[in-house]
Structure 1
């Protein structure tokens, strides 16, 4: 069985990250197909890990999932401490407007999308990409939920709400029903190019070109209406994990493809709500245990694994095997953070 560990991305990971980004579908703007931007992403993460931070700011943290025996990178995930720190974080808000006439006896409710930046300042989960060979079993939980352990371990660095954008409906040829019916009319470019600009240039151009008035959903083509809040097959797995973590959907959608935006209060996220800190004890032979996500408390050297461990909550102790301690780079007597799978 492959031994996998999640850790912060290093500069030496750039070729592997480029490979993963190149295999991602159009629309994954958090992993742009630009070597310079991916290098900047790693550099920003390294700087954030080295910074002395007492609040939620412009920091970002980029992780890779590594197969330890050959150091092959098989996945990526990331956290942005404060979405829209340098520019507004735009979404469409699902709303209902009421049109009424007492004289005509008409009272009609209409679904509209309103451009907003309500989620600016929330912590943002991004960049979940996993090698298809590892999408079965519990590995996806390690790649996604280990970020929650990191947030719990360094809580002061993150906001009181956490959000994540799911990739919406789009086809391999770049056709996206919602974009083609809305955004294209104001930008004059196709969906892949719009997403590329978003990934490498930021979102400031959005406010300059998108209409500020509500979009009346019934006026859109049926294909575009049906795309609102839908999720691309690529994002179904990470979305399922976050929904199990207690995230909710339906309130906001992405401005490009209308994919669902999920959100949760930080303290109510399952991994964070159920996490514990414990002292490491060398694993005694034959000790019974359960499946846990376990991470160390070293900020720049954070490492997390998924393993079978015996946890004594009353004594505040967790029994880990020697290979587990080596993977986490901890020893007996050190403190770790853990949450049940």
Structure 2
């Protein structure tokens, strides 16, 4: 972690127990007659959409402030930028899909680990009238090499289309939707709310990546390994806030819709549909060690993208979330 950022966090770190005037332990760790001090905690996420929902819910519900954090949440553009922010110390926790982090770790550019699973569904969305059979040999859209849509595109060509097809980098979710609508590509992986928007525009959902076990299973919250080792209490408090935000989201549909509308940068009606396809994916124990992560690593090994010696265990740490949830880590 960047030294200045580490020092800032350490200086603001809350004491674990402080007695108030009645002798009881104040929940904040400070006497109840003193203002509560918050730890500034810069966080980042890749781009607008469904994936940031759990972290955004934790921020918007006040769950992070209840844990003593003053969280700022920056949209960084893509998962590669989130990896860069984590390695430079510009952010402390990042929300991102797994491929960019796995690639950076395999290339020795980052020592980061996933601490909690996230929420990310992906659908293969085709041009209006497109069918899966007609997609063979047609170009598919992705965002950038080494990101989630690159991995899903490779996987689609290999396992759904029988090796027939090509990938074209056409940009973020809205750019990919426009590329589908104008015929530049025949299909592309999209997540809600953009996938819902695409359906409203007449596009077809050709394939649900849940059939491969990849929905809600390939990314989430990441942090530098050094933070987990040096400040476990801070990590545990962050994860408690993360879980409380999820609980609030699942219990309060209107709140969840508002989160989707704001962070999905979409309309109320599309946010409502997004909530309805998203909320079931929130897990009470969001273990980052998923079969989806293993599929990513194994597929990229077989394709020669990452070394054969790379292990999925090097980029996930189930220990902190297991401790917070009262589970045994894998």
TM over 0.5: no
Q: Which has the larger radius of gyration?
A: 1
TM-score normalized with structure 2 length: 0.26
Greater relative contact order, per chain length (Cα 8 Å cut-off, separation 6+): 2
Higher helix share: 2
TM-score (norm 1): 0.26
Structure showing the higher strand proportion among its residues: 1
